[in-house]
């Protein structure tokens, strides 16, 4: 029986240049149709996990497995073709281009024109703002709308897993709520999501699994609801005690 694990980082040790290790023997699994949220203090290594997973940073030791295949050391372009998309921290839309042009750019890895047309129809349905603003300049959109364009661009290659790095950064509460709704929509469409989010408590409320990092190691992992209810974890890593 095939495993439902679409992304696995196993015993990863990684750092930048000759500096000390950031990740120290870290292991994380993400299953199909599952949202896994990485939380922890600044410097815990959360964004580094995503960089290793997407091929932006080669680990010093350990393995990265994508749908069971060892892809350790492969670059981002090869991993994109293999079914992994990475939405970077901040905004990465090309503001001088239209929404349509941004979305089509995301499909550069697809050679089948009919497949591109099908995927465009799909993302226009999944992300209504993309269809509504199709001919609009991406730079004229709000921050939340730009983030949805980035999500749609990541989804156009029909990924198995999407990595999201601080998707709510700089957004107000209303637009943040919309972003989390879109993450849930990804899950409903069969995509696994590994997310790093500054609003840890809100992200865990939406996630299936939580993974608490500290000093480059996994401090605790389990159902997100259980982590939220744990008074010690809440006080140490989530900015206060859980609501009674």
Residue 12: CB atoms within 10 Å: 27
Domain membership flag for residue 67: yes
User: Which residue range forms the structural domain that includes residue 54?
Assistant: 5-237
Q: Which residue positions in the chain have pLDDT lower than 50?
A: 1, 244
Predicted pLDDT at 235:
85
Residue 236: CB atoms within 10 Å: 15
Please count the structural domains in the chain: 1
Helices and strands per DSSP (H, E), number in the chain? 10, 10
135 phi and psi, to 5 degrees? Answer: -100, 5
Q: 56 with 86: CB under 8 angstroms?
A: yes
180, 55, 190, 130 alpha-carbon torsion, rounded to 10° = 50
**CATH code, domain with 229:** 3.40.50.300
Predicted pLDDT at 111:
67
Domain membership flag for residue 38: yes
Domain membership flag for residue 70: yes
Predicted pLDDT at 18:
84
Predicted pLDDT at 244:
47
Q: Using the structure block, give the residue that is written with the tokens 């709000």.
A: 142
Domain membership flag for residue 125: yes
What is the DSSP secondary-structure string of 188-200? HTT-EEEEE-SSH
Predicted pLDDT at 142:
92
Give 158-172 pLDDT, tens digit per residue. 899 999 999 988 888
Classify each residue of 190-222 as buried b or exposed e, where b means 16 or more C-beta atoms within 10 Å of its C-beta. Answer: ebbbbbbbbbbbbbbebbbbbbbbbebebebbe
Domain membership flag for residue 242: no
Predicted pLDDT at 90:
77
- Which pTM value belongs to this model? 0.90
Domain membership flag for residue 244: no
């Amino acid at each position: 029986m095939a495993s439902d694990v679409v992304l696995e980082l196993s015993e990863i040790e990684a750092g930048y240049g000759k500096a000390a290790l950031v990740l120290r023997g870290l292991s994380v699994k993400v299953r199909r149709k599952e949202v896994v949220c990485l939380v922890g203090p600044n410097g815990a290594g959360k964004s580094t996990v995503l960089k290793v997973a997407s091929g932006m940073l080669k680990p010093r030791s350990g393995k990265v497995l994508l749908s069971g295949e060892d892809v350790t050391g492969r670059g981002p372009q090869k991993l994109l073709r293999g079914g992994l998309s990475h939405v970077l921290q901040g905004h990465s839309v090309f503001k001088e281009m239209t929404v349509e042009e941004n979305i089509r750019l995301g499909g550069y890895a697809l050679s089948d024109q009919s497949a591109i047309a099908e995927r465009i129809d799909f993302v226009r349905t999944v992300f209504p703002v993309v269809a509504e603003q199709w001919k609009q300049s991406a730079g004229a959109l709000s921050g939340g709308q730009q983030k949805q364009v980035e999500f749609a661009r990541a989804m156009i290659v029909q990924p198995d897993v999407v990595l999201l790095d601080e998707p709510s950064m700089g957004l107000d509460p209303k637009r943040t709520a919309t972003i989390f709704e879109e993450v849930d929509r990804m899950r409903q469409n069969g995509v696994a999501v590994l997310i790093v989010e500054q609003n840890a408590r809100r992200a865990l409320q939406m996630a299936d699994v939580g993974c608490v990092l500290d000093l480059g190691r996994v401090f605790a992992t389990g159902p997100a609801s259980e982590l939220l209810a744990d008074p010690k974890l809440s006080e140490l890593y989530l900015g206060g005690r859980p609501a009674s």
